[in-house]
Structure 1
Amino acid sequence: MLPFAQTYFVKPALPESEAFVAVEQSGRRLAILTEGYTEPVTGKTASSVLRYRPEEVVALIDSTQAGRTTQELLGVGGNTPVVATLAECKGANGLMIGIAPSGGRIPPAWKAIILDALNQGMDVVSGLHEFISNDPAFVAAAAKGGGKIIDVRKNDEHEVAHRLNIREECLRIHTVGQDCCVGKMLAAIELTNAVKARGVDAKFVASGQTGIMIEGDGVPIDCVVADFVNGAIEKQILAHQHHEMLFIEGQGSLVHPKYSAVTLGLLHGCAPHGMVMCYEAARPAMHGMEYIELTPLAKLVEVYEVMANLMGPSKVIGVAMNSRLLNNEQAEAEREKVRKELGVPVCDVIRHGSDELVEAVFALRAERAKAR
């Protein structure tokens, strides 16, 4: 196995005692591997990197879709080509695993492509639960070729939460969800970018592998030992609370049988002042467990607020609706229905923009300032 220091570098945080793990991004030119999985849900890592760091992507590798563009298949990336082989990715110095499948295993057919990249001296960036750096063949190829293996989910988090020295003047907004894969990361990034555009010093706090790949730092919360989940995200809060606002990426859902433990630890560890509820309109059932009905949004708002308020005052201030399955007319009807049902702003941050939610964030900040 590669030594930890070879897999990651440690970026100094503020204060110095709170260092955090970051992913090197300088000079990246990426080939993104999505072979056979080039669609928005399983391929969400590829989609998100193409949306927020398109200048770093040379091509997508998927022999089943070669000749098309990422815009056609994923709705992002413009004319970024989809090619059949690694050899066609001219100028790439890194291979990124572009999928986030349930269970996080490496598709067996991909191992030859990963080995080829390492033999060529390319870095390999993976957010899967199955670590590239645990395979002796990959480690040997990296040592020979001179590239780095970057297992984004690998971590050494070992601190519990303490709830000390947290600066309340730094507003903490957390995206939470009705289900997994509904757009919690995207909503958090869009809100961060939107308030920055209005002159606010804000920071996106990544809690998953794709967010870390985009932002360059964060914590892979679903791969942290259970006792340390709350402490791991608290460490991120402490490291970044010199900003005016933090937008903390959510994971899973409190009502998802597979992921609820991670969701709750993240919620309690970041102790948000406000939450943005995220959901996908027209989703028929729970992702990956289609035999389970989705919990109604009104009930979920109640549940999230009860659980969040165990740590401190918190409330849902708005809803980020993922309306990709709807046309414009259907999306507007859905938006109005949820507005009336929940009494908070509702928008699809891609289709409608994020202004309504930004106003809700500013209103919460003003409310808290007045209370202080």
Structure 2
Amino acid sequence: MQVAVLAHESFPDRAKTAVGLLRYGDHEVRAVIDRARAGGRVADVLPDVQDAPIVASMADVPAVDALVVGISPIGGGFDESWRPDVRAALERGCDVVAGLHDFLEDDPEFVRLAEEHDAELQDLRKPPDDLTVAEGTAGEVDATVVTTVGTDCSTGKMTASFEIRDAARERGLDAAVVPTGQTGVAITGWGIAVDRVIADYAAGAVERLVETPEEQDLLVVEGQGALAHPAYSGVTTSILHGSAPDALVLCHNAGQEVIHGYESFAIPPLDEYVDVYERLAAPVSEATVDAGMLNTSALDADDAAAAVETYREALGVPATDPVRDGVPDEVLDAIL
């Protein structure tokens, strides 16, 4: 499928879905829409991913099948400045895909335009209607289950999940990512955005996801939030308990010391954070933090290498920056 990705004034740093699709998606991205960077190309700001032109509006996009909203702002609301592009996409008969808490299908104008132009509105965060509480059975699956966890939101849990999957596949294993957020769902075409699920059913939703794939050697459950986050620790706990993992991978941004957006809250010392995750997992699984993933994108090569080594020593397990250095054998061995 050929798509355009909307990322107004957010690409690449605050357009997680856009970057995820460019790096891991199977769709051909024919344009990124960002009025602030119009006239450039993806490769100018984001190397080693699918390249595409950056344009100012949907009017500048070549023929595509769908427009994907590539931004998910805090709170997941729809920004009215995006309306002209969504409207233009629907008028062209393009489907529109979004992972917002504000559902496209609740917008009367979008519903009308979709009906008039035979287009589809896809709300990736809309959960199934038949979810239930967890039964505590995820630990019975045959696959090795690994859950990525973080010291904060946006520490690279989704990226780590796909990089681990790809490294395992290169080794000949049947490996899959279990998507628990809108970006993972957009990339893989399945999954449940757990942060939209009723709290009582959240662990059950993750349990269902883990039990869905058949005959896999490795399932990498995409983590969300962080246990020490004052706002999003609930979804983290649901994923941790619902997935009943065999191993945990701790993700962190190099040099970050406080919770983004909640700067009065310090990130706990890394060795203490490892203990918190392991103790909270303990009631449902014996999972331990067996590897670390570090985002060093803000550092040069020498400083990045030093930061990874420091992170490895702090955790006491193998570590890597999966985007810069991939997932070396020692890291994958530790995870498996």
* TM-score normalised per structure 2: 0.96
Worse-matched range after superposition: 73-82 or 337-346: 73-82
| Alignment pair present for 1:120 and 2:92 | yes
Distance (whole Å) between structure 1 residues aligned to residue 274 and residue 166 of structure 2? 25
Q: Is the 8 A contact 1:157 1:232 kept in 2?
A: no
What SS is found at the alignment partner of 1:334? helix
> How many aligned positions are there?
334
Structure 1 residues 176-191: aligned runs within 5 Å? 176-191=149-164
Q: CA deviation at 1:165?
A: 7.3
Q: CA deviation at 1:241?
A: 4.8
Distance (whole Å) between structure 1 residues aligned to residue 287 and residue 108 of structure 2? 47
Structure 1 residues 260-271: aligned runs within 5 Å? 260-271=233-244
Residues 39-94 of structure 1: CA distance to partner in whole angstroms, max 9, x if unpaired?
A: 32x21111110111275100011122111111223345454100112122112121
Distance (whole Å) between structure 1 residues aligned to residue 257 and residue 289 of structure 2? 23
Q: Which residue of 2 aligns with 1:361?
A: 335
Pair 165,53 (structure 1): closer, same or farther in 2 beyond 3 Å: closer
Q: Is the 8 A contact 1:322 1:348 kept in 2?
A: yes
What SS is found at the alignment partner of 1:163? coil
Kindly report the root-mean-square deviation, in angstroms, between the aligned alpha carbons of the 2 structures.
1.5
Q: Is the 8 A contact 2:250 2:291 kept in 1?
A: yes
Residues 142-175 of structure 1: CA distance to partner in whole angstroms, max 9, x if unpaired?
A: 0001010000001125211112375353110000
* TM-score normalised per structure 1: 0.87
Distance (whole Å) between structure 1 residues aligned to residue 253 and residue 276 of structure 2? 18
Q: Which residue of 1 aligns with 2:67?
A: 95
Q: Which residue of 2 aligns with 1:245?
A: 218
| Alignment pair present for 1:66 and 2:62 | no
Q: Which residue of 1 aligns with 2:168?
A: 195
Q: Which amino acid aligns with 1:253?
A: A
Worse-matched range after superposition: 61-70 or 164-173: 164-173
Pair 254,157 (structure 1): closer, same or farther in 2 beyond 3 Å: farther
Pair 87,278 (structure 1): closer, same or farther in 2 beyond 3 Å: same
Task: Tell me the percent identity.
Answer: 37
Q: Which residue of 2 aligns with 1:305?
A: 278
Which among 302, 315, 318 is matched to residue 342 of structure 1? 315
Q: Which runs of 5+ in 2 are unaligned?
A: none
Q: Which amino acid aligns with 2:332?
A: V
Q: CA deviation at 1:313?
A: 1.0
What SS is found at the alignment partner of 2:146? strand
Q: CA deviation at 1:135?
A: 0.6
Worse-matched range after superposition: 117-126 or 51-60: 51-60
Q: Which runs of 5+ in 1 are unaligned?
A: 1-27, 363-372
Q: Which residue of 1 aligns with 2:108?
A: 136
Residues 246-292 of structure 1: CA distance to partner in whole angstroms, max 9, x if unpaired?
A: 10000000000110000001100001010000000022421222232
